[in-house]
Amino acid sequence: MEQGTVYQPAVPMTAPDLPTQESSSPLSKFLKLFASFNKPKPSSNSPALHIEQGSARGMPGDVKQSGRPPKLLYIFGGIAIILITLALAVSFFGKNKTSTSTPSSSSSTSTIDTTGFTTYTNTPHFYTLGIPPKWHVVETTPSQEGSLIIETDNEAIMEVKSFKAGEGSLDDYLSSLQDGRTSIKSTAVKVGAYDGYERSESWAKTGLQPVVTYIQIQDKMYVFTLLPSAGKNAITSESLLRDYRSSLSTFALTSTTGLGKDWKEYITSKVDGLIFPAFTFTHPQSWAVTEKSENKNLIISIYRNNYEIAVTQAEVGNAVCLFKDSPAFQGSSGDLRGKEYSEFTTLAGGILRRYFNQNEGDKSTFFFCQKETTTPYFATPTELGGIAYYVPAKFDTNIVKEMDEIVKTFTVIVASPSATAQ
């Protein structure tokens, strides 16, 4: 059990992992959201801007126009018309020329076709994978890494490894690799429904250049390596890459009950002067935790890759969250009747509603309201502070659900009577 431990990531926390500028911090975003609740609307009686027709206000009053323009004006006007006509003609024919260019060849490599695939199931490591028609499994090992060898119909083999992830995120794992491999190119991809990275790598020890895809799901790491064979040192076949990516698109978990068993417990600090209590929660070891205290406020960040749960404890009042099923209310409130929400109960019995707030560039945000114990209303902040999710604009719903599981473990630490008396 860790009392106020601060976990530092192996790589610098810069966008899009965690905001580094003060204006984009969870505290400033939370205060901005709170200020938007019950924001006064402009009155219909406010004076409108009126512009008088025919007014010459701001124009010189002594300028006189002659009855006829000079001849030079006609000459320059004619030249201008000719030049404009030539420019439009060049632009028109130029556009027609570029529109006939052939489409990029990258579209052909992104085609997913799983016709005739058979399904391989690995029960000990909780996954299934589609195998292309001319590929076949040649070896499995019942080891901790669950190694699987698949022979392709080309000059390559595919190896699948699944093993227990270490502490930290997938980015932390990749940056920690010290076995002589380097990344030539890295691309964010989907493996089934999960976010990962496909990397073209160079292995100094063997001289090979395989294609390797990595994903991390809670405390499990899955690595899919397309390894050149038969004297080849690189993957050059587009059809082979297409089958490889099609196979990975079929990846699915058979069960999640065995994942995340090695969750870690974290206990937050208590800031003197704040009404918010310290609290405890558990999280998969693949998620990192940081605490930051600024201006007598506390920000707890739970993050992995580009996904973050932020709990902000700050001196603000509370406001009622008006959802579509809320009774009428007079007072400080936020109108959320047009928002869709997910409702769940924490292990401590608190009822929370998570609603989608908005897209902000390449990020999306979710905010939380908590059910009050003595009224029919939900309110923000919660008893622990403002709770928010910061996720990619095109977020993975499975990871958001994983974040919900962490929030469900939030539990207030109640001070014992003896400690209070002291």
pLDDT for 267 beyond 90? yes
Task: Tell me which of 215 and 179 has the higher pLDDT.
Answer: 215
3-state secondary structure of 198: strand
C-alpha of 127 from chain center = 24
CATH (residue range 2-37+259-416): 3.40.1000
CATH (residue range 115-249): 3.40.1000.10
pLDDT for 116 beyond 50? yes
| Lowest-pLDDT choice from 47-51, 235-239, 251-255, 367-371 | 47-51
What's the mean per-residue pLDDT of the chain? Answer: 78
Among 232, 206, 221, which Cα is nearest to 166's? 221
Task: Kindly tell me the burial class for residue 338, based on how many C-beta atoms sit within 10 Å of its own C-beta (0-12, 13-18, 19 or more).
Answer: exposed
The fraction of the chain above a pLDDT of 70, given in percent, is 69
pLDDT for 7 beyond 50? no
Q: Which part of the chain is CATH 3.40.1000.10?
A: 115-249
Band of the pLDDT at 48, cuts 50, 70, 90? very low
- What is the reported pLDDT for 167? 74
Tell me what the mean pLDDT of segment 131-154 comes to.
Answer: 80
- What is the reported pLDDT for 296? 85
Band of the pLDDT at 282, cuts 50, 70, 90? very high
- What is the reported pLDDT for 323? 96
pLDDT for 387 beyond 80? yes
Per-residue tokens: 307:
């996904």
pLDDT for 17 beyond 50? no
- What is the reported pLDDT for 352? 97
CA dihedral 177, 287, 8, 163 (to 10 degrees): -20
Task: Give 191-202 pLDDT, tens digit per residue.
Answer: 999 999 999 999
Band of the pLDDT at 78, cuts 50, 70, 90? low
Tell me what the mean pLDDT of segment 61-78 comes to.
Answer: 51
- What is the reported pLDDT for 82? 64
- What is the reported pLDDT for 60? 36
Band of the pLDDT at 322, cuts 50, 70, 90? very high
Task: Tell me which of 16 and 170 has the higher pLDDT.
Answer: 170
Instruction: Give the span between the Cα atoms of 172 and 194, in whole angstroms.
Output: 17
Among 212, 221, 209, which Cα is nearest to 189's? 212
Residues 184-211 as b/e (b if ≥16 CB within 10 A, e otherwise) read eeeeebbbbebbbbbbbbbbeeeebbbb
Tell me what the mean pLDDT of segment 89-115 comes to.
Answer: 48
Instruction: Give the span between the Cα atoms of 397 and 402, in whole angstroms.
Output: 9
